[in-house]
Amino acid sequence: MLNVYNILETIRMIQDECLDIRTITMGISLLDCIDTDIDKACEKVYNKIVNKAQNLVPVGQKIEKEYGIPIINKRISVTPVAMLAAACPDGDPVKFAKALQKAADTCGVNFIGGYSALVHKGFSAGDERLIRSIPEALAVTDNICSSVNIGSTKSGINMDAVKLMGRIVKETAEKTADRDCIGAAKLVVFCNAVEDNPFMAGAFHGAGEPDCEIHVGVSGPGVVRSALSKYPDASINELADIIKKTAFKITRMGQLVGARASELLGVPFGIVDLSLAPTPAIGDSVAHILEEMGLEKCGTHGTTACLAMLNDAVKKGGVMASSTVGGLSGAFIPVSEDAGMIDAAVEGVLSIEKLEAMTAVCSVGLDMIVVPGDIPAETISAIIADEAAIGMVNTKTTAVRLIPAIGKKEGETLEFGGLLGSGPVMPVKDKSSAKFINRGGRIPAPMHSLKN
């Protein structure tokens, strides 16, 4: 039964509180495109993506009209390209990146993710070549995203890969220094990467997934903040209940859009990612939710506790609203993409150390953090290792997306524009971690009993 209050509430959420579907992402397997001739493989990749995803953007637009809800991004995730690169040892993997870019242009999607390698236990054929090609691939393309999984709870952390990724992140920023180091914003290093993530830059289509499927990522920090603002004196468990109810409504929207997209495209429905994904727009900030709970500024003492409650309540509310939940599911805290986080970082209240603690209780990790351009590669590796250790021990996904601001120092800012926002250069420790990183090897997988 429709009632006036519900109708107006939905419209207010969309119009005033920035509720939107953040992304519909089509996952496409490229395993049947493997070929020993790299040019042939690239041709197959292009043809398969265009064949599967040619209607993705028009269908997205049709659903936007039908339900009156904005769908911000239409994206594609593909099989980690390292698996394809393995079959052509003499080919330059950058050719795959260019083929993916051509497919992205033809389909009109915002991003294709999957220029990826999974090396949590070691490098197989193709992995290391692909990783070494990432800086070039991200510099010559605009809409391709890359990710590397360097650790997992079951296998430990591949410290050789951690060492390599420190250099790759820095090199990627250097190669795009003329464009605000944008390359590094399209590269993420994971521990416990998930195979059905619809969000960039870390989306790829895992080998265990079907040939083609549709995932949906929802958003709505503004809706949650606004709901909480109506109860200034509620206790924390009352706040948790309000968040659950709001997350339920937001996720139902994702489920509806996903089911409709799957029906119109004739592709199975994968998952809804229960997420609170901020944008730099006013009123679309996760930091502001935490401040609404009673923190003077995000990043102060108490932030981790507030975030833990928020993250858990979002999942509890969302799980019942969707038939299949997956992806990264939780609140995201990308610094440059969140107006409240940017403010807190500029004021110096939010530090990398606090963000690291926050990542132990929420979705993903150190995300979109701008660091000084002269940061040593080993320090980047050490930050990656710290973050991966949190993920490994706590059996959760963690990630690092750092942007070394080449030629800039603390106090300056990088401007990416659009959804990526802008980020102040945040200070890092100046003491070296080089000896630890240069040891190489592997951190063994943690034990799962005697937990303390």
Residues of the shown chain interacting with other proteins in the complex, contacts defined by CB under 8 A: 1-4, 6-11, 15, 62, 65-69, 249, 252-253, 255-256, 320
Least separation in angstroms between residue 332's CB and other proteins is 22
Our CB check for other proteins shows the closer of 62 and 98 to be 62
Our CB check for other proteins shows the closer of 255 and 336 to be 255
Find residue 112's DSSP bridge partners: 76, 144
Least separation in angstroms between residue 258's CB and other proteins is 11
Least separation in angstroms between residue 67's CB and other proteins is 4
Least separation in angstroms between residue 27's CB and other proteins is 23
Our CB check for other proteins shows the closer of 13 and 159 to be 13
Any alpha helices (H) in 144-201, and if so which ranges?
159-175, 182-185
Least separation in angstroms between residue 280's CB and other proteins is 25
Find residue 152's DSSP bridge partners: 156
Our CB check for other proteins shows the closer of 11 and 357 to be 11
Torsion of CA 67, 252, 7, 279, to 10 degrees: -70
Our CB check for other proteins shows the closer of 31 and 320 to be 320
Distance CA 195, CA 327 (A): 7
> Which residue in 62, 39, 28 sits closest to 204, CA to CA?
28
Least separation in angstroms between residue 14's CB and other proteins is 8
Our CB check for other proteins shows the closer of 65 and 451 to be 65
418-441 as b/e, with b when 16 or more CB fall inside 10 Å? ebbbbbbbbebeeeebeeebeeee
**Residue 211: CB atoms within 10 Å:** 15
SS3 367: strand
End-to-end CA distance of the chain: 50
271-299 as b/e, with b when 16 or more CB fall inside 10 Å? bbbbbbbbbbeeebbbbbbbbbbebebbb
Our CB check for other proteins shows the closer of 72 and 368 to be 72
Our CB check for other proteins shows the closer of 152 and 255 to be 255
> Which residue in 203, 112, 191 sits closest to 155, CA to CA?
191
Our CB check for other proteins shows the closer of 197 and 255 to be 255
Least separation in angstroms between residue 249's CB and other proteins is 5
Least separation in angstroms between residue 378's CB and other proteins is 50
Least separation in angstroms between residue 214's CB and other proteins is 17
> Which residue in 214, 256, 213 sits closest to 10, CA to CA?
256
Distance CA 284, CA 11 (A): 16
Our CB check for other proteins shows the closer of 9 and 35 to be 9
Cβ atoms of residues 174 and 135 within 8 Å: yes
Within 13 Å and on the Cβ side, how many CA atoms surround 186? 32
Distance CA 301, CA 349 (A): 10
Least separation in angstroms between residue 275's CB and other proteins is 17
